[in-house]
Structure 1
Amino acid sequence: MSKFFHSFEIRHLLLCSLAPIGAIIAYLLLWVFPHQSIYLKFFTLFVLCVTMVYFCYHFFQQLIYKINVISNLLEAVEQEDFSLRGVTSGAGAFEGVIEQINDISSQLSRHRQQQREMDFLLQKVISNITVAIYALDGSHRLIWCNSAASRMLGTSLDKLIGDTASAWQLDNLLHNANTEHPVVSDHEGRPGRYKVTSDTYMVDGVQNVLLFVSDVDDMLRQEEQKAWQDLLRVISHEINNSLSPIASISQMLQQHYRHHSDNLPPGFTEGIDLINRRARELIAFISSYRQLSKLAPALKERVDLTALVAELPLLFSHRVITLNGPRPLMASLDRVQIHQLLINLIKNADESMGSSADSIDIEWAEEKGRLLITILDRGVGLTNPKNLFVPFYTTKPNGTGIGLILCRQIAESHGGYLSLENRHEQTGCKVTINLPLQSPA
């Protein structure tokens, strides 16, 4: 019964009914007492009319208020503001509508929060997968791509969006998608093999294209590198387990027989020294290969490449090194790693030239948001280019076969690549380092 009287409609209906009921009672009283003054009758009628107008106006204001509340709630839902709630008092049709709108807003708010969480999860997954994903509209313009796509093209996302597929040499991949064999394509001067698939999706009734590109060479290289790292880890462990006792025992023998050399057979002391020295050298030799699996992540900072390159001639004072490039040229690099990369490559160039007095040329430039560093020597050139990045392969008498592999790892950890080829105009080797000026988003 209490809920019945708490209803907005019933409460105001009873309130508005008081005026006509009062009028009926007043006229009945005037009819019972017919000798009352005419002024009293008109005054009573006036009071009753004013009362009825007041109650009707009050009811109208309350009705407008309820309608405005519902209108504001619906407008908030239309504007996707699900935080607004209507206050209800009692029961009734209006209160029921307001409660239903409140429930709808709560459900939509929960669904939007869940959708945001799913979108965030999806963005995390897409950003961390190695497959490059491109979304193209009907005219083959890029409308979206992930981080792997920007790394593949070596530029930032904002420079890709809105551009055509042909501007970034994606038309070849697009036309050869969904084929069994990898597609050979050249991006920023770096030829590669790609597994390409495509699919379509609809936006506002318009068919768009999704392009998925996997770098086959990169996947094979990662598997190859992992296999070598696992092999090196096992070999290093086994050899160190054998060499460490040999080195320790030979050192103990050195110390023990150092004061008793008179009674030793000829060459005994020299043999012990040789065993100890070779054991130490082999331990150091094995330790050098561990660098293949322990390259630290690149700690990038703003570096002036010109100042970095200017330090190189000081390290090779016996060799003439010419420098040619814009000054200054700022880039996002790990200064220590790039410095070591350049030192390794110049050392290779210097050794290939032997005692020749020819110079080494270092050139650098900016091209399409990329940093290009070229090292030109006048040595013997590359005798077996296919084995350049094979671990342990070397043409040097004292080489370890890991220098170029480390250089390539450093370049790739910066989102770039390293290439070597023989010079065409004369003997010698041309080394190209291609790096992004800025870290891709």
Structure 2
Amino acid sequence: MLALVLLWRGDYSSKTQWTLTVLVVGTWCSFAFAARERVVHPLQTVSNLLSALREEDFSVRARGARRDDPLGDVMFEVNALSEMLREQRLGALEATALLRTVMEEINLAVFAFDEAQRLRLVNRAGERLLAQPIERLLGRTAGELGLADCLQGEPTRTLQMTFPGSIGRWGMRRSSFRQGGKPHQLLVLADLSQALREEERQAWQRLLRVLGHELNNSLAPIKSIAGSLGSLLGKEPPPADWKEDMQRGLGVITARADALSRFMEAYSRLARLPQPKLQAIEIEPLIRRVAGLETRVPVVLVHGPNVMVHADGDQLEQLLINLLRNAADASLETQGNVKIGWARIAVQLQIWVEDEGAGLSNTGNLFVPFFTTKPGGSGIGLVL
């Protein structure tokens, strides 16, 4: 503007004034347009990039982003942000696809309910369990689906339930999560019937194997001795010492019959085990009392916190007596000691018995009824 003022006030010809005016104005307009393009175009580019990010289009990039000016730095960082978001979304999509595949393939019924207890998600196992397609299940309440009880009470438990697609015992787990800022409940049901039947079958096989072994140990000598005594009575004339042989044979039969009677009595005790009667019990006096019952070996009492538990005091005491007796039997062979103590781990109480014996050679039969490694053992102590 100053140049134009000086030009028009100076002593120049009209032609020169107009020519220079056009030249100055043109130069100024060109400079202004170039400056505008240099400032506005990068800002428009950044605006387009941010708009693409808002619309979750992470493929758009700014060309010519350089580190030699502030706007170039901004575009470079926006490009880096777009690449990072693209990789994160790709990872989230892959994780979602994997989760969806796992949910469809696992043999667990999975349900997700919103805060109104309406079903929002179900997998293929859940469809089979309820015997309906997903289109007819979504949006229905837990009460309509017969799952209302599962959303109440303890979050982890075993239930006996009947569904349109299956009947049996179910392991239930329930947890909470938030989606869209709203609380939801995740329910997982596992069919335990087949696993329980298999465990029951194996338990019966082990029990029958031990029962058969014990019965054979008693009946085989009884049969053999009875046959020998029968042959002895059939001899004419009888041997001179037949009375002594008869008494020894009858004594063996009586001893084996008594052993078999004790075995059956132990079996009856196992079958008639009463239900636990829960009551508040102070742990320290109970363990101190149990430790005082064992006098064959030194028993070291390792003190823990003084806590109260809800349990059947009589059954718990009998359990600890059996454990302590077994530990003492093992330590007698090595002239070792026995330790008994307790500790609190989170919300659980751990009671432990430690001996210095040789240990068990076959721990697989540790809790099999009537399995024993002791000559006079019944094999029901740990089971009880």
TM-score interval, normalised by the smaller of the two chains: 0.3 to 0.5
Greater RCO structure (CA 8 Å; 6+ sep): 1
TM-score calculated relative to the size of structure 1: 0.41
TM-score calculated relative to the size of structure 2: 0.47
